[in-house]
Every structure is written in structure tokens, then in C-alpha cells.
Amino acid sequence: MAPEQARDRPGEPVRPVGAMRPGDHLCLAYVNDEERHAVLTAFLNDGLRAGDALIYLVDDAPAGSAAGRLRDGFGAALDDGRLTVLPTAGTDLGAVIDSALARGHPAVRVTDEASPSLRGWPGTERFAEYEGALHRAVTRRARPAMALCQYDRRWYAGDHLREVESRHGGRAGPDAVFDDGVLEIVPLFAPPGLRLSGAIDESTLPALVEALRDVDAGTAHLCLDLSGLDFCDLDGLRTLIRANETSSVLDRQVILRSMPGCVKLMLRVSGWETAPGIVAEAAP
């Protein structure tokens, strides 16, 4: 199931980071540190499981400070060389990738912390040159490599984000926390919550309950994006309405975003549309 994850961002739907393959050059336009951490951690852990070499490029901060940030969770990989942190400036990425492949790694994963001060603002010639060189380095024939470029989308307006995307093969986003072919559940980060696609029924209800339980109970708002929902039975709707009961925050609000017609009708007939703490947000 391919969810529409781009409702409030320019461009095409994002690709789950776990679906990345050699030859991919994607950008991660993250909305906050939580999203960045979730996607980046999945990217690196997938590489470790596959035996890939991991290259972490740093634009501005010293490589040593970046390595310090990565040590919690990837200390062993830093110590044994599976994960290498390098400054972007002065690094011959093609040579680094070839060296890692020569050591027997099946593929190489590259990720970089993007900084406009080094590569230029999106839309400038320097930006195009930088991303073009990186793209050529990871997509060269017979060189199994992939790259994930990290961009803080809070820095950029819509046109600049479109320029970022145009220099990549697409955008990467978080993996689904559940997907059985009937219901897919993908985490949201700003506001925190879940995007639900498919059907909520007797078979998928336990997964929904677990996913709701795993959302940070300390958040004052919980967003449930229902734009991809095709079906929801009464027990499923009751579970969505009662999602604020798992919170430790008094008067937590549950935002039901982009509800399909069937859910709107059930909400009105059941009388739950006036339930305390429920905000029915209309589609844009």
C-alpha cells in the first residue's frame, strides 16, 4: 500500500526509507528532530543489517562532534569502521565509496547533514553543482550506493523545497509501523499522530490500538489523518474517539483530519461528533 504522505508538502508522495535501494538519491525534508531521528535511524540500521558501509557527511560541524551525536546507538559501528563520519568539504565521495566496496561491503549508504552555507541556497548554481556531484557519485553504473540528504524543511519556502526535490529522485519518509495489506499505519510528527490508510476492522483493530498506545502520551494534540481510510467499523471509530484517554495530558485534543464520508456519517449518527476533546478537521 502506497500512502499519500505529501498532503502538506510540495511534490510527490514520499517513499518509505526502508524501500530505498542502490541507485537511489533521496532527500529527507524533516519537520522536526523527531522525524529526522526516526528516518535516519531506520536508514542506518537497515544498512547495518545488510552489511553495507555507512558514510555520514557533515557540512558545518566538525566530524568529531557529529560522531559524538551518533555514538548513542551507533557506537559499535563507529568503532569498527562500518560507520564513518567525514567532512563534506574536501572528501572525494566517489573514492570513499569505491574503497568501501573494495573492502567487501555489498553496498554503501551515504547520508549528509545539509547546510546552505556550504552547498548554497536551493536554486543557486552552487546548490545544483553540489547535488549533481553527489548524484553522480551514488548512481554511477556498477557502484551499488544510495544517498539520503537531510534538509530541515523549516528553513525553506515551498519553491525552495521544490528545488530541493528536483535535485533528488524523490523524498524519503518514515516506515509504516504496521502494514498487513489491509491497514497501513504511518507515524506523523508535526503534529504527532498517525496516518491511517486502508480499512479498520476486526482484524486490524489490535494493531491500531497498539499504535495509538505507542504515540507519546505526553503530547497535548494527537492528529489522526484519515485521508487514506476506505473503511472503518464502529469499534474502530470508538477507538479513534477514545484515543485521548491514553494521554497523561489533561484535555488532550484528538484531531480527526480529512475524514472520508463514511466516517463523517458514522460520527454524526453515533453522536460522537460532540465528544469532548474531538476536533473534526475538514479537508483543505
Domain limits of the chain? 15-173, 178-281
**Confidence (pLDDT) at 66:** 84
- Looking at 3.30.750.24, 3.30.160.70, 3.90.1150.10, 1.20.1250.20, the CATH number of the domain 178-281 comes to 3.30.750.24
| pLDDT computed for residue 219 by the predictor | 80
The DSSP string of 83-101 is EEEEESTT--HHHHHHHHH
Strand arrangement of the beta sheet that strand 221-232 belongs to: 178-179, 183-189, 192-200, 221-232, 253-257, 278-281
Phi, then psi, of 31 in degrees rounded to 5: -95, -20
- Give the residue, 211 or 14, on which the prediction is more confident: 211
> pLDDT by residue (tens digit) across 211-263?
998 887 778 889 999 999 999 999 999 999 998 876 667 778 999 999 999 89
Query: 178: closest CA among 200, 156, 148?
Result: 200
Do 62 and 116 touch, CB atoms closer than 8 A? no
The torsion of the CA quartet 232, 3, 216, 213, rounded to 10 degrees, works out to 40
pLDDT at res. 276: 85
Percent of the chain with pLDDT over 70: 93
More confident residue, 117 or 257: 257
* CA atoms within 13 Å, Cβ hemisphere of 154: 7
Query: Which of 9-23, 153-167, 196-210, 215-229 shows the lowest mean pLDDT across its residues?
Result: 9-23
Query: Which grid cell sits at 68?
Result: 559524538
Average pLDDT of span 169-197: 96
Question: Of the candidates 282, 229, 214, 281, which has an alpha carbon nearest to the alpha carbon of residue 254?
Answer: 281
Q: What is residue 114's predicted lDDT score, i.e. its pLDDT?
A: 83
What is the CATH number assigned to the segment(s) 15-173? 3.40.50.300
To the question of pTM greater than 0.85 for the whole model, the response is yes
